[in-house]
Amino acid sequence: MKNRKTLTRVLKYIGRYKYLLPLSLLMALISTALTLYVPILIGEAIDAAVGAGRVDFAIITDRLLLSVLLIGITALATWIMSAINNRIAYRVSEDIRNEAFVKIESLPLSYIDTTPHGEIVNRIINDTDRFAEGLLLGFTQVFTGVLTIVGTLVFMLVLCWQIALVVVLLTPLSIFIAKFIGTRTFNMFKARSECEAKAASLIDEMLTGQKTVRAFGYENRATERFDEVSGRLERTTLDAIFFSSLTNPTTRFVNSMVYAATALVGALIVIASGGDGALLTIGEFSVLLSYTNQYTKPFNEISGIFAEFQNALASAGRVLDLIEEPSEQSDEGFAEVKDSEGNISISDVSFSYSKEKPLIEGLNLDVKKGQTVAIVGPTGCGKKTFINLLMRFYDVDSGKIELDGKDIRTLT
């Protein structure tokens, strides 16, 4: 469910470049159609070489030259499709990264203070890059893969429905394996991204507070903390990669079974034809074997990138979660403070960074114009928090703070 929700959110960003998608699909269609037509030409050349009577060199030459031409056009169409997909993937990535950066400027300071800075940086940089790479692979492989699967089935049905039936009956096993493994790798890659964020946060914390670390002799403890986080990152990475790597070899095994079954059934049909090709010629048989390879190849490729795509979705979810964090309340329409007397009234104010740990409770204080007030107390008692509340970097949980009789939540 989480996976599907993330994909829906990503599609909204891709929709901004919907004018490029039809062109990419057109190039994929041209590339796939020509790729599927070339085996037919090769099959006709084979029949012209092994058919009854003399070898027809004219047909062989014609089919081979046409095949070379179509292969060149296919390469050009594939290159154009890749260029378009690159543009879409990295523009979407740029949009998400820019929105995430703009979001930081509107987030409440409470979020900035309670979320490790390294984690935020990791989401904007690493998660966005990983998402772009996975999205690009998804575009390139899925577009051509789906078209190839559909196209080969159509051609195989036209040539020999019996062999097409064998392929269709064995295909669901490969799909089931890919889906079974894919649904489990999503959570594993999400856990890995979270561990990466914690490692980045710890490094940022240690670098920022290096003077404090050395002053209090915290080096050994810092190393122990990093070893612990690094160990978790290693374990989650190995688990995710190991489990996801099962997809490709298992689907390849199933696809090899499909190829063997196709070869067996096709050979029997050719033998039953009695050499006259009434049911299936040798050239058509070679075409069907080629189609079987082309049919199973997308399953291998898609299963190979399935782990990367799951990883990309997990990373995208983390970045989009940041973008969808509630923004700080807008000051638009609030009264602007120009000339202030400086009378401050604090009435029954309570505030805490987390509900489990109350910090300020029932605070009452009146400071008149010209008065000087000293805020004294041990570390952690709330002195800095008190100033932050006066500056309205945070809003109080209850009660109110007034400036010249006006609630500061209505001022800007």
Predicted confidence (pLDDT) per residue in 91-137, tens digit: 888 888 888 888 887 777 777 777 777 778 888 888 888 787 777 77
Which pLDDT score is estimated for 143?
A: 75
What CA–CA distance (Å, rounded) separates 317 from 10?
A: 9
Model confidence band, residue 338 (pLDDT cutoffs 50, 70, 90): low
CB atoms within 10 A of CB 220: 8
Predicted model pTM = 0.63
Q: pLDDT per residue over 9-32, tens digit each? A: 777 888 888 888 888 889 888 988
Which pLDDT score is estimated for 72?
A: 94
Q: pLDDT per residue over 368-408, tens digit each? A: 877 788 878 777 677 777 777 777 777 777 888 877 777 77
- Domains for the chain: give ranges and CATH numbers: 2-323 (1.20.1560.10), 344-410 (3.40.50.300)
